[in-house]
Amino acid sequence: MYKLIALDMDGTLLNSEGIISVRNKQAIAAAIANGTKVMLASGRPLEGMTQALAELGMTSGTDYVACYNGSLVYRVADKQLLRSQTITGADAKKLALLSEELGVHVHAFSLELGLITPAHNKYTHHEAEINGLEISLHDFTELADDAVILKVMMIDEPARLSAAIAALPDVIYQQYNILQSAPFFLEFLHKQSHKGIGVSTVAELFDINADEVICMGDAGNDKQMIEYAGLGVAMANASDDIKAIADHITLTNNEDGVAAVIEEFVLS
């Protein structure tokens, strides 16, 4: 019996219009009514998840959410932190300099300043729009070395970003957890921050074993939670590397793939 379902948002729970379908809502509600816990695990900040949480009725004192790819895990009702693992202003400065050398744009999420970038670009504007955030133009060299940074992102046209990824020094992979969440987003987090840790933190809180967990996702930042889960599910629209590690492949995010899994493995 599966006791916890963890859902990625973009490309998984949300369709291509950014909407949770009626069928997905109904299946999630039925699973919760059946005693199964459901949580969201996203690269988004909490601000970009609150509407979905409200739509799903997941706002109680027993609801938890993994934000920033697991860097922060919150109790939804009062925003109490269950887990926090972040990087620093010194990291952001180093990665901003590297992004400049590689010829790609950069932005970051600062605990104090919010969404920051040294230069306007369409991908930071996309990030701000989907999460309902303001953009703060900020010279990264002015960040305090000990500033709390949730994640840094290299962002650019997919071809340009792919070239930058190919040129990343090996030492950077040793220092950060590096995740590609979209063709135009490359994320740099603390080595101990990923969705797998975020989901396992919540599972352990409720004495739920990994083999009692379902995780669903579509992109590189979902890899660790899909590997962690007893049933790791890739969407039909997922990248090939995610499909390769999944235990099950469901329908696309535009075909209510989340509901199909819940109906087959939880409600049937």
- pLDDT score, position 12: 98
Rounded mean pLDDT of 180-204? 96
pLDDT band at 106 (very low <50, low <70, confident <90, very high): very high
- pLDDT score, position 256: 98
pLDDT band at 92 (very low <50, low <70, confident <90, very high): very high
Summarize pLDDT for 14-43 with one digit per residue, the tens.
999 999 999 999 999 999 999 999 999 999
- pLDDT score, position 91: 98
Mean pLDDT of the chain: 97
- pLDDT score, position 61: 94
Rounded mean pLDDT of 143-163? 97
* CA–centroid distance for 87 within its chain: 16
pLDDT band at 185 (very low <50, low <70, confident <90, very high): very high
| Active site (annotated) includes residue 241 | no
Q: Which of 8, 156, 218, 256 is catalytic?
A: 8
Which one-letter amino acid corresponds to residue 258? V
Whether CATH 3.50.50.100 fits 87-189: no
| One-character DSSP codes across 142-169 | GS-TT-EEEEEEEE--HHHHHHHHHT--
Q: In terms of CATH, what superfamily is 4-84+193-267?
A: HAD superfamily/HAD-like (3.40.50.1000)
- pLDDT score, position 192: 93
Burial 160-186 (b: 16+ CB within 10 A, else e): bbeebeeebeeeeeebbbbbbbbebbb
Start-to-end C-alpha separation, the chain: 11
- pLDDT score, position 9: 98
Residue 28: HSE in the Cβ half-sphere, 13 Å Cα cutoff: 25
- pLDDT score, position 67: 96
- pLDDT score, position 161: 97
Task: Indicate the domain borders of the chain.
Answer: 4-84+193-267, 87-189
All residues at 6 or more sequence positions from 69 whose CB lies less than 8 Å from its CB, including other chains: 41, 42, 43, 151, 179, 181, 187, 189, 193, 194, 195, 198, 221
